[in-house]
Structure 1
Amino acid sequence: MENLLPGNPTPLRAGNLLNALLSPILIFTFGFGVSGAAIAGVISEYLTASILLWKLNGKVLLIAPDVNVGRFPQYLKSGALLIGRTLALLITTTLSTALAAREGPVPMAGHQICVEVWLAVSLLTDALALAGQALLAGGVSQGNYSQAREVVYKVLQIGALTGVALGFSLFVGFGALSALFSTDSEVLEIAKSGTLFVAGSQPVNAIAFVLDGLYYGVSDFEFAAYSMLRVFDKQFVIGTISSIFLLVAAPLFGLPGVWAGLFLFVALRVVAGLWRLQTRDGPWKFLRTDMEQDSV
């Protein structure tokens, strides 16, 4: 993004800055509360998109005069698959929030602290996923399969190490970090009880995000979506398995059951992704060594 759109402010920086400035003004000064945060977020997103389109317009032709209509079905299929994948993610995470809310306002507040930190720290590995996606796409498109194989293995290794480092940091500092969100002792006590979930799941989260980037690097959109629907060749639905677990575990164990369900959801994605790479099939044929390719 920085290389494509030189100069300051970049779209992301401008949008984030506007969001940071507008949120306290609308929430506190005008008294809009949660609605103010939503309004600030929407305005910042429109600003980001507007600057992005403006800058891209000077570098690429956004609307080509010779549009290849024949490729529209392919675009629509890829988009539909990714929308389905996103819906599966949202349904499971929304269910976890609903089940946590049933525990009451104080447990819900503690849960929200855990989830916000969990997601924010996990998204740090998104940068690694994007780098892996770009490097992998470059290697495969140029036929440099030895480089592509190295990218896959190195990015996964670095992702795992990054996840371990993030997990250790959160295990040590989550108590102090959660204190930034609330001064209520009961809420902080509940948030502290989720330290193992927030910190312990980071290595798995990191690999899950890295795998997503690798999928997109070789345009494996179909499996990226279907991995939410199948593990191996059995008709196991990852989202359904996790949702059923949540519905059973949350009433029995409360918030620990909710956190275990979220961890299971991410862990199943990792299992499906690693299995996909191990098959070395479809767009992943380049993972086979030259000797293996000659024997096929």
Structure 2
Amino acid sequence: MVLAAEPLYLLVDTAVVGNLGTVSLGGLAIGGGLLAYVAALLNFLAYGTTARAARRAGAGDRDGAVAEGVQATWLALALGVGLVAVLQVAAGPLTRLLAGGAGPVADAAEEWLRVACLGLPLLLLALAGNGWLRGVQELRRPMGYVLAGSLVSLVLCPLLVHTAGMGLVGSAVANVAGQSVSAALFVRALTRELASTGISLRPRPAALRAQLVLGRDLLLRAAVLQLAFAAAAAVVARSGTAELGAHQIALQLWLFLALVLDAYAIAAQTLVGTALGAARPAEARETARRVVGWGLGTGVLVALLLLALRPVLPPLFTDDPAVLAEAGVVWWFLALMQPLAGVVFALDGVLMGAGDVAYLRTVTVGSALVGFVPLSLLSGWLDWGLPGVWTGLTLFIVLRLVAVGWRVRGSAWLGETVAR
């Protein structure tokens, strides 16, 4: 659930900001998209830490698992502070690039991004905390922490945007406030754990390097994926403000639902890592079988709910007739790919738990460069609009499904190890 934090913040923002008009909604699409891309690039702080911590916990070394959390926390702080500095300098050029030039949408995006990026160190702290807690099979506390922060954001966002009259900036302030609450809870959990052990709080260069080695493939995987999403957003932005607004609504729902479905991947990652750390490969394979079934079933359920709620959900985000018309077109893509996505995300978790991240990197990069990116760019050239872009996203999911399904049917992933 914690990995859904940023999409959840942006989903709430989309519903609240959509009532300010298409310029604000377009600004949130650009600025929020950039922030979500950066957060997704660094989700190895959660995934990589979980894999390493779960292996140590499975081998009976809980202190070692918690120590992974300490080093991940230092890494999160360093990366977060550095990214704030970069985005404060580059916010204007980046938003103008994605908006297709200077204008009201680019200005709105820059204004939102400069405030919202201040929460990046907090968000990364939450990712690191989620990683080690999942590794020791503490799954309830991370959910409670991120829900507490989301509740703060949910309450503050409409108050600051509408009641206080802060407009689009109010949503950014609400996000940072919510992220502060979640980060504080994760840091408190770590310090309490350290108080009962002899684990050092100091950064250890060797451990940080080891985490970066594991994170390297995850980072490259995420980088190509986020560049693919950025290219798609740039194509849609040039199609018109209504199309961009509809894309923002559908994409934030897709990202949120992807990370909700990823709950099975998270469970698989922890259980597979623990099983392999304890040298129980048969248990790891059985876990893979179960999570595929649950991912498929949940994906079907989500698809049916989206189709049933099609007349209800889009108007919650905007009352603009042009945006609603475009959202109606893309809604079919959003709903019908959910069963496939449920299986893909579950299998991703299995391979991450096994430390098979190099294969995941290759599959994701290949699927993006063969399917998603070419169709998105072709859509801009041939004026296919949103249907073309979302066909590319669907093909991306299908290609990944074939590749990871084939991998898990074999046995190579059972022999992968995580460097200590």
What TM-score results when the alignment is normalised by the length of structure 2? 0.60
- Output aligned runs, 1:217-232, within 5 Å: 217-229=353-365
Could you say if the C-alpha distance between residues 65 and 246 of structure 1 is closer, same or farther in structure 2, counting changes exceeding 3 Å? closer
Question: Does the 8 Å contact 2:276/2:414 carry over to 1?
Answer: no
Q: 1:1-296 maps to which residues of 2 (within 5 A)?
A: 4=138, 10-60=144-194, 64=200, 70-229=206-365, 237-241=366-370, 242-252=372-382, 253-281=384-412, 283-285=413-415
Q: 1:62 to 1:226 in 2, by over 3 A?
A: farther
In the TM superposition, what whole-angstrom CA distance separates every residue of 1:52-77 from its partner, at most 9, and x where no partner exists?
11122111369627977545433221
Could you report, residue by residue, the CA deviation over 1:191-216 in whole angstroms, capped at 9, with x for unpaired residues? 11122201111012112221221122
Distance 1:249 1:188 in 2: 21
Conserved? CA contact 2:217–2:357, under 8 Å:
yes
Letter matched to residue 13 of structure 1: L
State, as a whole percentage, how many aligned pairs show the same letter: 29
Quick check: which has more Rg, 1 or 2?
1
For 2:180, the aligned partner's letter is Y
> Which structure: greater helix fraction?
2
Q: Distance in 1 between matches of 2:282 and 2:350?
A: 15
Count of aligned pairs = 278
Which runs of 5 or more structure 1 residues have no equivalent in the other structure? 230-236, 287-296
Give the C-alpha shift of residue 41 in structure 1: 1.4
Contact 2:281 2:414 in 1 (8 A): no
Structure 1 counterpart SS, 2:229: helix
Q: CA deviation at 1:256?
A: 0.4
Q: Which moved more, 1:2-11 or 1:192-201?
A: 2-11
Q: Distance in 1 between matches of 2:307 and 2:187?
A: 41
Distance, in Å, in 2 between the alignment partners of 1:205 and 1:6 is 24
AA aligned to 2:253 is V
In 2, Cα distance between the equivalents of 1:259 and 1:112? 12
Instruction: Report if the CA contact (8 A) 1:22-1:40 is conserved.
Output: yes
Structure 2 unaligned blocks of 5 or more: 1-132
Deviates more, 1:239-248 or 1:196-205: 239-248
Amino acid aligned to 2:304: F
Distance 1:7 1:206 in 2: 24
Q: Which residue type is aligned with residue 166 of structure 1?
A: V
Asked which structure has the greater RCO (Cα within 8 Å, sep 6+), the reply is 2
Q: 1:7 to 1:215 in 2, by over 3 A?
A: closer
RMSD: 2.7
Residue type at the aligned position of 1:217: G
Give the letter for the 1:244 counterpart. P
Structure 2: distance between partners of 1:265 and 1:43: 35
